[in-house]
């Protein structure tokens, strides 16, 4: 059980109230409309998304679930080798096992038929219900990451392979998943790999390390669930953000102030998700780098119009809440437009854009609304403190030696190069990125 379970339970009433109010929110209000769409479409009526797995899927899709659970125990090992020949043999063996199972048990024309029918029905319903599609997307994303690396911990010979020849059974469904969520990366994302990988009881469904020690499994579970818990705490804040914009743009600054004060009061609990999870007893520094961060990376790509395009893996910087908060506070975006299209689902991007387009921070400053300015600054103070402490907190996780692989982060792929030959140089590079973000939080 997650260390966050008690916190989540205490917050449940606020969460349920916010979810109900979002569904009843005013029509023709851009921010509320995008928030409602996020909940109803991608979230399957909830947020974080509701996802169902295995038995709830159309029969033609269920072999994927069964196959992943069968092959996953062969993916990870605690017997780590730095021998390229040994690692190549292990990787080849795993991939052959996956290819054989997919070829023998997946009826590809039927899979294409059911996914096409679902796509043609639109995102609201379709032949595969939204919650089932969410769960299916988690399964395919995990299987693609497992196939991409073919061995956990990630090893150098895997990192050096930049173009991956996926079985068609993993290529075809991923194209539907990308269109459904509006992303372009060949790797998974926070939505598919974390948010859609838990059932309603908070149980993780697909694991990279399910056959390994409790220390490793606990680290994988707690790190993944951290993103789910963050979004659960975030939903009432999203509602207050939308409400504050609604009231300010109608001239009711007192009501806007009430919502801002609510955000200030709710934010500490959300930020505690990280301080309670990113500690040694919940996520061991001994195993995180190799068994959790490693397989979440991607570092591979494709040739488009004669040019090699590489995709990154999962990154905490993709987390929905922090992108929403930055948009609400009119902060400079962290990602380029291309980066957003690659890794951030379209429904989330539209919510960010609505927050930016209809936010009131600049208008409040120009109007001299001092009380509103005070509460905006109170939100910013909390985010600045979080970003400063988080920068120090993750350092101990990222500096653990992993001699079997090149220097790499999940969200920035392989960093090792002539310019970045060692971990200390890589940390300076990453620290510079985090420092820049901290300075922009104002």
**Residue 289 in contact with residue 400, Cβ under 8 Å?**
yes
417 pLDDT more than 60:
no
Average pLDDT, the chain: 92
**Tokens describing residue 213:** 């020690």
pLDDT in tens, 258-311: 999 999 999 999 999 999 999 999 999 999 999 999 999 999 999 999 999 999
The DSSP symbol for 84 reads H
Q: What is each CA distance from 431 to 161, 197, 248, 391, in whole angstroms?
A: 27, 30, 37, 7
Q: What is each CA distance from 333 to 135, 317, 340, in whole angstroms?
A: 30, 11, 10
pTM of the model: 0.94
398 pLDDT more than 70:
yes
The DSSP symbol for 318 reads G
Provide the 3-class DSSP secondary structure of residue 125: coil
**Tokens describing residue 262:** 């609510």
CA–CA distance, 421 with 439 (Å, rounded to integer): 27
CA–CA distance, 7 with 395 (Å, rounded to integer): 26
**Residue 291 in contact with residue 223, Cβ under 8 Å?**
no
**Residue 21 in contact with residue 239, Cβ under 8 Å?**
yes
pLDDT in tens, 9-68: 778 899 999 999 999 988 889 999 999 999 999 999 999 999 999 999 999 999 999 999
Question: Which pLDDT score is estimated for 45?
Answer: 97
The helix or strand, by DSSP H or E, that contains position 13, with its residue range, turns out to be: helix 12-23
Question: Which pLDDT score is estimated for 442?
Answer: 75
Tell me the chain's radius of gyration from C-alpha atoms.
Answer: 22
Task: Please tell me the least confidently modeled range out of 127-131, 225-229, 418-422.
Answer: 418-422
CA–CA distance, 361 with 404 (Å, rounded to integer): 49
Question: Which pLDDT score is estimated for 124?
Answer: 42
* Arithmetic mean of pLDDT, 99-106: 99
């Amino acid at each position: 059980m997650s260390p966050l379970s008690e916190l989540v339970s205490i917050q449940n009433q606020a969460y349920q109230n916010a979810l109900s109010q979002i569904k009843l929110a005013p029509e023709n209000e851009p921010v509320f409309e995008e928030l409602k769409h996020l909940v109803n479409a991608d979230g399957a009526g909830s947020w974080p998304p509701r996802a169902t797995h295995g038995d709830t899927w159309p029969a033609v899709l269920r072999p994927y679930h069964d196959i992943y659970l069968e092959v996953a125990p062969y993916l990870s090992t605690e017997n780590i080798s730095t021998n390229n020949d040994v690692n190549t043999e292990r990787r080849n063996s795993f991939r052959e096992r996956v290819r054989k199972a997919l070829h023998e048990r997946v009826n590809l024309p039927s899979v294409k038929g059911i996914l096409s029918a679902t796509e043609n029905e639109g995102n609201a319903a379709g032949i595969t219900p939204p919650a089932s599609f969410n769960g299916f997307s988690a399964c395919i994303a995990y299987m693609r990451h497992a196939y991409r690396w073919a061995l956990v911990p990630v090893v150098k010979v895997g990192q050096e392979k930049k173009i991956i020849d996926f079985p068609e059974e993993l290529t075809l469904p991923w194209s539907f998943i990308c269109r459904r969520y509006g992303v372009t990366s060949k790797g998974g994302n926070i939505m598919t790999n974390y948010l859609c990988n838990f059932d309603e009881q908070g149980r993780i469904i697909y694991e990279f390390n399910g056959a390994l020690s409790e220390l490793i499994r606990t680290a994988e579970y707690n790190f993944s669930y951290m993103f789910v818990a963050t979004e659960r705490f975030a939903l009432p804040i999203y509602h207050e953000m939308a409400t504050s914009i609604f009231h300010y743009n109608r001239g009711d600054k007192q009501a806007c102030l009430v919502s801002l004060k609510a955000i200030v009061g709710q934010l500490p609990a959300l930020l505690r998700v990280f301080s309670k999870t990113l500690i040694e007893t919940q996520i061991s520094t001994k195993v995180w780098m190799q068994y959790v961060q490693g397989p979440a990376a991607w570092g591979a790509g494709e040739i488009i119009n004669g040019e090699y395009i590489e995709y990154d893996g999962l990154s905490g910087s993709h987390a929905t809440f922090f992108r929403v908060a930055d948009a609400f506070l009119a902060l400079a975006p962290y990602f380029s437009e291309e980066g957003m299209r690659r890794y951030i689902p379209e429904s989330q991007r539209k919510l960010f854009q609505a927050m930016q387009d209809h936010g009131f921070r600049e208008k409040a400053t120009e109007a001299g609304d001092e009380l509103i300015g005070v509460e905006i600054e109170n939100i910013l103070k909390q985010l600045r403190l979080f970003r400063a402490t988080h920068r120090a907190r993750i350092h101990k996780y990222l500096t653990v030696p992993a001699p079997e692989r090149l220097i790499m982060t999940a969200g920035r792929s392989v960093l090792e190069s002539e310019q970045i030959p060692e971990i200390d140089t890589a940390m300076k590079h990453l620290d510079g990125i985090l420092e820049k973000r901290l300075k922009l939080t104002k």
